[in-house]
Structure 1
Amino acid sequence: MKTFKRILAAAVAALFCLTACASAQTYAPVELSGDARYAMNLFLSNFTEIGLGSVSTWSDDKELVDFAHDHMWFNAYDSFEYGEYANENNCRVSDDRIQSIIDKYFAEPRQVDLTQTRFDYDGEYYYHCETGGWINSGFAQTVSVCPLGDDRYFVSFMTFGGGEFWENDVFSMTIGEAAEKFGEPANFGHAVVRAGNLSDRSTYKMESFN
Structure 2
Amino acid sequence: MLYSDLLANVYATLDARLHDQEPETQAAGPEHATVLSSAHRATGTTPVATASVGTSSTAAQGGTTGAAEAFARSVETWPPFPDTVAALAALSKRFRLVILSNIDRATIAKTRALLEGPGGFAFDAVITAEEVGAYKPAPEMLDAALARLQKEFGIEQDEVLMTAQSVFHDIVPAKGRGLATAWINREGAHTRMEGVEGDEATFVFPTLGAMAEAVEKASA
Higher alpha-carbon Rg = 1
Higher relative contact order (CA 8 A, sep 6+): 1
* TM-score normalised over the length of structure 2: 0.24
Would you tell me which structure has more helix in proportion to its own residues? 2
